Homo-oligomer: A and B are copies of this chain.
């Protein structure tokens, strides 16, 4: 019953890097720097005693072993996610609390987000604010503003204005940037963005 395993952090780094074939892209997915990913992967390779990547001067390639390792590792993470969601649904299906500045509000339909059918499943409520600090204190999950920044280590998704003039900024913690809720909201914003009334 004793398992002798490499550390999860290393494995996550490997999994992301192998999927993207890039330390840099993996790093941004994980919300850390490329150096950190590189180190974790190196550590993993050392602990396994085998090379998982071939470092080419211009990018990465999986070795034979790396190629064999990736699918089961991806599956393990998926299983883990599934098991975790099963007992703690909160973690991924919790609805977002949205912060929105009044300027951003003006660029969206008057009844947003209530008017947008599907969004009700992803948004719990919203408050009028432009304060990035509320993201850091977890009082809101994402913030919609008509630009601004800098946002430090927060993730930013820019929603281009269909009219051409000004875009919207969707800001959240890096780990939240790619989750279901964020994607749904961003997609909806993209559809509903409108020139100032």
A interface residue numbers (CB < 8 A to B): 1-9, 11-12, 19, 29, 48-50, 65, 68-69, 72-73, 75-84, 86-88, 90-92, 175, 177-179
Known A-B contacts: A2-B175, A4-B179. Give 17 more (CB < 8 A): A1-B29, A2-B178, A4-B91, A5-B8, A5-B77, A5-B80, A5-B84, A7-B9, A49-B90, A49-B91, A50-B87, A65-B88, A68-B86, A69-B83, A69-B87, A72-B80, A72-B82
Please indicate the chain B residues that have their CB under 8 angstroms from the CB of A48 in the complex: 84, 87-88, 90-91
| A157 → B minimal CB distance (Å) | 13
Q: Is the CB of A79 within 8 A of B72?
A: yes
Q: Is the CB of A3 within 8 A of B83?
A: no
| A36 → B minimal CB distance (Å) | 15
From B9, B65, B82, give the contact of A87 (CB < 8 A).
B65
From B2, B49, B76, B91, give the contact of A80 (CB < 8 A).
B76
Please indicate the chain B residues that have their CB under 8 angstroms from the CB of A65 in the complex: 87-88
| A5 → B minimal CB distance (Å) | 6
Give CA–CA (A131, B175) in the complex, Å. 49
From B1, B9, B50, B72, give the contact of A19 (CB < 8 A).
B1
Q: Is the CB of A79 within 8 A of B79?
A: yes
Please indicate the chain B residues that have their CB under 8 angstroms from the CB of A3 in the complex: 12, 77-78, 80-81
Give CA–CA (A34, B49) in the complex, Å. 31
Q: Is the CB of A83 within 8 A of B77?
A: no
Give CA–CA (A175, B47) in the complex, Å. 14
